Structure 1
Amino acid sequence: MNLYTKGLLLIAVPGAIELALLGAVFNTQAQTAQAAQWVTGSAQILYRASSVMGPLLSEAARVRTALVTGDASFVGGNEVWPDLTGKLAQLDQLVADSPQQRQRVRDMREAVDGYHAHADAVAQALRNKRDVTALVATEREDVPASIAVFRDRLDAFNAAESGLDAARLAALSENRQRQQSTLIAAIVGSMLIWAITALVVARHFGRRIAVLTGNAERLGNGQPLAEPLPGRDEIAALDAVLHQTGARLRLAGREHATLKARLQARAAELAIVNEELRQGTQDNEMFIYSVSHDLRSPLVNLQGFSKELQVSWDDLRATVESAKLPEHERQRLAAVLDGDVRESLRFLRTAVTRAAAIIEALLSISRAGRREYHPQRVSVGRAVARVVDALQGAVRERAAVVTMRELPPAWGDPGAIEQIFSNLVANALNYLDPARPGRIEIGALESDASDGRGVILPLASRTRTYYVRDNGLGIPAAYMPKVFRAFQRLHGDIAKGEGIGLALVRRIAERHGGRVWVESTEGVGSTFFVALPEQPARNV
């Protein structure tokens, strides 16, 4: 049985008993009200009956006086008899449920009607000056008998009604006592019913809820739960859910311990790999530095020897020109000197210059990885302003328009952050489209909720994303994965350089705990994004 059904029963059973008690109270109240109404009716009947005798006796006294004095004016007017008739009619209505009383009322009405006729005869005789000796005799003999009949019937009527009134008063008192007893019993019964209901709720529901609450607390504290509650109600269902949750939590705890052990093992492995990677990166940087440094001396020698060969070639060429050789010998030597030897010297100088530039680029990358940073809060706006001022010559040469938006501060090394924007702005200038006016915009995103590609960044990163947007040549989609690699140049015929500027930007951004990416459309332009920390970054 579920809680809803139990609740309905707890409400319905006491409610039904309450209704029965209320019905008993209302019944006794109705009986008492009926008895009170009967007592009131009896009192009204007695009052009406007491008001009938007086007018009749007064009228009889006036008739006797008229007969003695012979003056018809003593006889009452016609208004006395309608009043008596009306009062008797009211009495007849009030005792309509008692045939004996109604018969007495009819007898009283007949006696009044007879005496009314006698009074009219006396009045008529006195007005006509007739002999009233016979009427006087009648008044002395018959009429008092009529009034006596009226009095007897009225006394019998009052006696019967008084007895009935006494019985009704006794019934009213009994009903009132019963009503009071019933009301007290209803109140006491109602209190007992709700006390029993409260006891049932406390012993049944209260105990079960206490067990359920205790199991919930034990579940929260990680302690073993009590035995499951019996029954099929919602409390038992909740207790079963708690036991199931406890079993799942124990299973999850064991799985968590296993996963934690695995995670610790993976973390140890990752620490070893990171250490190996760091050592490898350091070894690579040292190797690049060593190789670059060691190659500079041979390159310097090659540059010197190439210059000496060039001087020797010039001397040899001048000697051949000044010598008086046969024409065919001179032309043959000139062809050798101006052809193969000159071209070989040019290739040698170009190769040496290229090798020197590559070595210098390698040294730049190595220095970027080994440079010691001094992080602080950097005014990016001021750093970018210095970069734009330094590149004003290139800006004027390309007739470009550079727009700076509001640039909030970042956390990092001032020189390194300035180098980032220097490379990005210089890259944008180098690859502007000569066919249209160049426009470069430098700004910051309003929010760092995403990294510019729809990827939501964690709030703990606290980064600020800046961008450098241009309307230049753009980058083909196939070349996008190679943009930030060293020595990768897309438009080598347009801009000079070794292709390490964007690689340096990525290296510096990563060392600051940030990142860099690009969005580009070929023929439309490119936008380079760089995310830098607002708070101190790790491993800087």
Structure 2
Amino acid sequence: MPGTSGHENPARDIPSREKAPAGDVSRAPAGRLRLPGPTLLLVLGFAVLASISAMSITLVYRAQDDADSVTHTLRVMNAISQLQVMVRRAESAERGFLITGGDGFLRFYEESKARALPSLDEIGALTQDNPAQQARVAEARPLLDSRFASFERAIALRQSGDLEAAQADLKADRSEGAMSRLGTLLIDMKAAETQLLDSRAIASRHSAGWLTAVSAGGFAVVLALGGLALYLNRRTIAALEEAQQELETVNAGLEQRVAARTADLKEANDEIQRFAYIVSHDLRSPLVNIMGFTSEIETMRTELFQRLGRLRETAGEAREADAEMAVDFEEALGFIKTSITRMDRLINAILALSREGRKEFMPVDVDVGELIANIAGSMAHQTNEVGAVIRAGQLPVIHSDRLALEQIFTNLLDNALKYLRDGVPGVIEVSAVNTPGFITFVVKDNGRGIDPKDRGRVFELFRRSGRQDRPGEGIGLAHVRALVRRMGGLISLDSTLGEGSTLKVTLPRRLPIDNGHKDT
């Protein structure tokens, strides 16, 4: 690129001296160890890092699965313990009520019963993938119901005043067999889960051990590659220093050559500056001439076909073929005029972007909320015509270029209004998100949306996406991106086809003045 290659290596002007490049450390003399070149070492390092990353990710997921399994087993064991405690508490509460008749024991019993049944349901839900545990849960359910039925019979007798019958029932405890079997089932269930916990804990430790080994091994490999890279770098630096000394000796007239090359580059830059004039004058002039001659041809068309008709009459030929030729002639002229008009618009667009690239920014305090309100007011006729509404949230005051901001938001709002969905009332919302040093402005619409394959191209110059049923040359979003980048910001697009689009523009709170001098 002219203007940036002023430090081009003048050594290429030296007559042919056979010399190995300083950075090619793999071209060692005979008898010396051939070491990998920087490119091969870089590829090898990336391959090692990619392998370590892939293995680490796999092991992390495996460790997470093992941890989830351990957590799941602990939840099952906790539910079993909860059920055991609730049954014992219910039994104690029942006996306390039979002995004392106190309402506190009765409430304690009801609370324990209410928590026991959900605990059994939780065990069943957590062990759905364990047929053995499911069988135990199925067997435990009627035993638990039988146990609570026995408790409630004794409680009912005590409440009716038949203390002797209730105490007799307590002593008989007809469901003792059920309780014993229920206790055995719960113990078996906990033992099975303990076994699972042990195996899963071992698997988790193994995964953690492999992860540690891979990380340590990867660190060692990376450290070795880093050491080799450092060694190669030192060799390269030594070779470069040697080459620099040779260059200083050979190129005694370096300053003169640089001056000559700088003059050449200045001339090239001046040639680039004349490009704008070529576009605006020399390239436009042929277009004007073509358009003029096209108009003359169109004017001569009638006379041409009249003469052709008279010649055909003189020759005794039919004139039907002339009508078809006239249609083709008209169509060709239409294509020429359309192409000329489009080229004229494209030239104007290029010139506009070129002028914007050379313009300097003038940062001032800008109330973005007021700016959006003014833009929405200027678009009132357009929004009323398409039945849309522009809503703005709480927007901040930033130190930036007012004209650039106006151009950015005008293009974004105009683009949103242009591509609304048919039959759907348009809603365009403008909001802002504060971040340290930056403000992210969000322009969201419920329009047509953009196909995923077209999201990147919408920011390209003269590129458009979707149905081309709206006027435009495809420079709006390209212009926005150029302005945002020059202001030190970023622009991104998130869109769903048929639902709408969201454009996010991140700008600095305070625009650096030197940003206005950067080229696009």
TM-score by length of 2: 0.44
TM-score by length of 1: 0.43
* Greater relative CO (CA pairs within 8 A, separation 6+): 2
> Which structure has the greater CA radius of gyration?
1
